[in-house]
Chain A
Amino acid sequence: MAHQAHAYHMVDPSPWPLTGAIAALLMTSGLAIWFHFHSTTLMTLGLILLLLTMYQWWRDIIREGTFQGHHTPPVQKGLRYGMILFITSEVFFFLGFFWAFYHSSLAPTPELGGCWPPTGITPLDPFEVPLLNTAVLLASGVTVTWAHHSIMEGERKQAIQSLALTILLGLYFTALQAMEYYEAPFTIADGVYGSTFFVATGFHGLHVIIGSTFLAVCLLRQIQYHFTSEHHFGFEAAAWYWHFVDVVWLFLYVSIYWWGS
């Protein structure tokens, strides 16, 4: 049987890029159809296809790396570059929303009362739940680092415990933020204050959910012995993403919650 004479990964033909592209088409067109014709069928179909694509694509990557051994050092280097570039693109995504916030808050218009927060807006107290949220995410940064060291040192039980604790802290943040959203005295429709607040913190919250899900997958893999003390890039990628989410929150807290009040 012929074997490759290089260390790179020549992937098997896969249907998931096609199904993913169709899912994106269905979600975007479905959004337009929902807005104009009040039907959510197309968008829902797109979402289901997206979930199926993500599950099978990432399942295949786990098979290729952990079961087939395709993730050699040069391949892993490429995966590292890829994750770093992706996180960089997300940084730029959030940069846009921070630009919008500072554009409106540094020079508040007469329509807002010439002040920030605008007239009529009662901002959230930054030293109540938002401060707790900051502590929760900072603590989760500690626990995910503890999990990493546990994996590197072959401490299976500690790795599982610290990873589970990280996920619980992420869920706690999400629950607290959901409660804050419900109890807030202002809405997304309350001028540019509402828009910048809920879009920036809303996308951040979505990323917390994505990060928690990624960590949960890593927890399942750690329990199933997928990670070795030398090779656990999936976990490292999840940890990098989690630290990124934490840093975005710190900027949100200082800019919108604290300075912006």
Chain B
Amino acid sequence: MFRHFLTLQQVSRRQISSTVRRQLDNNVPDKQKLFQEANGIPVHLKGGVGDAVLYRATMGLTVLGAAYVIYELVKAALPQKKD
């Protein structure tokens, strides 16, 4: 009975994959291999160079933004000299 179920699974998978466009292959196993590599890299950088670029851009904006907001709030809080 289990063998029969397996055959049914294989048949339905074959039928479905024949109607899907060729370029949409299932690359989840490749992604799983990449992200399970024992290299000690945290998940937010583990995808490759693109991750590092995006991280640096985000952190750069964060630091600049934090400095800018303090500047603007201090400027807003101090009384302006009127001539």
- Chain A contacts to B: CB under 8 angstroms: 1, 11-16, 18-19, 22-23, 25-26, 29-30, 32-33, 36-37, 41-42, 45-46, 48-49, 52-53, 56, 60, 63-64, 66-69, 154-157, 223-226
Report the bound CA distance from A165 to B60 in whole Å: 40
Closest CB in chain B relative to A213 CB, distance in Å? 19
Closest CB in chain A relative to B6 CB, distance in Å? 13
Q: Is A45 touching B76 in the complex (CB atoms < 8 A)?
A: no
Extra contacts besides A19-B59, A29-B72 (18): CB < 8 Å: A15-B44, A15-B59, A16-B44, A22-B62, A26-B69, A29-B69, A30-B69, A45-B65, A45-B68, A46-B65, A52-B61, A56-B58, A60-B43, A63-B35, A66-B28, A67-B36, A68-B36, A224-B27
Report the bound CA distance from A15 to B44 in whole Å: 8
Q: Is B62 touching A19 in the complex (CB atoms < 8 A)?
A: yes
Q: Is B61 touching A68 in the complex (CB atoms < 8 A)?
A: no
Question: Which residues of chain B come closer than 8 Å to A37, judged between CB atoms?
Answer: 76
Cβ of B49 under 8 Å from chain A:
no
Question: Which residues of chain B come closer than 8 Å to A53, judged between CB atoms?
Answer: 58
Question: Which residues of chain A come closer than 8 Å to B58, judged between CB atoms?
Answer: 15, 19, 49, 52-53, 56
Question: Which residues of chain B come closer than 8 Å to A41, judged between CB atoms?
Answer: 68
Report the bound CA distance from A18 to B55 in whole Å: 12
Q: Is the interface of B mostly helix, strand, loop or mixed?
A: helix
Q: Is A14 touching B62 in the complex (CB atoms < 8 A)?
A: no
Q: Which of B16, B38, B61 contacts A45 (CB 8 A)?
A: B61
Residue on B nearest A66 in the bound complex, by CB? B28
Report the bound CA distance from A57 to B77 in whole Å: 34
Question: Which residues of chain B come closer than 8 Å to A13, judged between CB atoms?
Answer: 42
